[in-house]
Structure 1
């Protein structure tokens, strides 16, 4: 199909992009990598009056060391994150999840900011960002504000981002020396996750001293598995301790039921994948 007619601008700076988005009204949309937006345009499931293309805004790309955190441009691609040295050293969980997303073509075009703003509960990047306690930097006509990942994801395909705001950067606290693993289950390669688990853990002298776990597609937003974290911290870094903690993975979740899996099967997958992810993260 052919998209409905729309106006198009390609600003060169964040300031120009914010001005264009605000001037386009409620029906203006932001074009990042386009991996989610372009298909719905072609099917006419969306009919924006204006597309604001961010591909020329170079200040929105790249990863920068910012002291205790990494500052990642929202237009950094999945491929960028998967290959970046700073991400590998200080936030490896994000790089692992980016490398597991879709296929090489999508990873070279899809962006971090686009994936987070799209807020698909089956997407690969929201859960790692939540697990890492990242902060999302949003810029609009009123200035810049920072939104914790725990407050950014509101519902299916819904975020705290205002219609006239851009997601410009993601600030990720450094977890240097932590182990990480991203476990994903899908029926076919390159498809959306039925369930996925993002896990990071810190081990000192054989004891788990820190744990971060978040789940994909176990609710209308990514879900932090707090029960698992509480059960594991302070325990020995053993397979037995991981198994006990992982048994709590489905607590507080509301998994969907669809043609791929019912809620009970997703809860089972969450426990199995959490055990696998934490086993890798703690080195058990």
Structure 2
């Protein structure tokens, strides 16, 4: 089956991209790496869209340190994140995630902004930015605005991006010297979506724990986080399983996904030297 598009235009810069979206009468779709959008169009899950290609806007890619925050352009490709020295130093969770994302061809074309805007609850980057307490930067007809990761993911494939807006960057606190960041997941085969996965961040302010593949959005496991701050891994595992409401499908039952999440949390705790209970 071939894609059905209502038109195509390549934006010269961000201002031009916003103008093209404004002229699309609500049918504009932002095209970055195209790894999710084109697949959806090929299956006719999205038709008649006016594609606004932002892939050549150089200002929207790259990684930099700005004050005490790390800023990542939305067009930065997965593979670039995996080999970037600033990512390795200040947000190693993202570098770990790259190793779990699909296959080399996808990693070389896909962008972090595209992955976040697509908002697949089984994808790694949405859960990562949630655990890292990131802020997402949007540009639209009314100007710039910022949305915390906790408020960004609304439902399956649905985000807080308003009509006519473009996700331009993601920023997060720099990792502290003794900060721990870790991602663990279980998948049937390399490159498959995870049956369930955890993103774990421990810094001076406490633990942040997010879950992927276990609901309609990535979940910030607040009850489990509170138990982890108390060094109570047994209570944290029980709290985590109680917080989850995962789906049952042909890949795994809800009960199995809850079980996996608890097992992964214990593995993380053991690796960082926490006491078992």
Decide: shared fold, TM above 0.5: yes
The aligned counterpart of 1:174 is 174
The aligned counterpart of 1:229 is 225
The aligned counterpart of 2:37 is 37
The aligned counterpart of 1:267 is 258
Instruction: Please give the residue correspondences for 1:43-54 in structure 2 after superposition, counting only pairs within 5 Å.
Output: 43-54=43-54
SS in structure 1 opposite 2:99?
helix
1:168-213 Cα offsets, whole Å, 9 max, x none, are: 000111122311211111112101111011112247xxxxx62111
Unpaired segments ≥5 residues, structure 1:
204-208, 236-240
SS in structure 2 opposite 1:130?
helix
1:88-129 Cα offsets, whole Å, 9 max, x none, are: 111111221122111111111111110110011111110010
Q: 1:81 to 1:278 in 2, by over 3 A?
A: farther
Q: 1:28 to 1:246 in 2, by over 3 A?
A: same
In 1, the alpha carbon distance for the partners of 2:94 and 2:269 equals 15
SS in structure 2 opposite 1:72?
strand
In 1, the alpha carbon distance for the partners of 2:270 and 2:23 equals 50
Q: Is the 8 A contact 1:79 1:99 kept in 2?
A: no
Q: Is the 8 A contact 1:248 1:271 kept in 2?
A: no
**Deviation for aligned residue 1:222:** 0.4
**Range 140-149 or range 269-278, more displaced:** 269-278
**Deviation for aligned residue 1:244:** 4.4
SS in structure 2 opposite 1:64?
strand
SS in structure 2 opposite 1:125?
helix
* TM-score, L = length of structure 2: 0.94
Residue of structure 2 aligned with 1:249, choices 233, 240, 243: 240
Q: Is the 8 A contact 1:242 1:279 kept in 2?
A: no
The CA RMSD over aligned residues, in Å, is 1.6
1:227-272 Cα offsets, whole Å, 9 max, x none, are: 222112253xxxxx54543332223221111111111111111111
In 2, the alpha carbon distance for the partners of 1:49 and 1:115 equals 19
Unpaired segments ≥5 residues, structure 2:
none
The aligned counterpart of 1:153 is 153
* TM-score, L = length of structure 1: 0.91
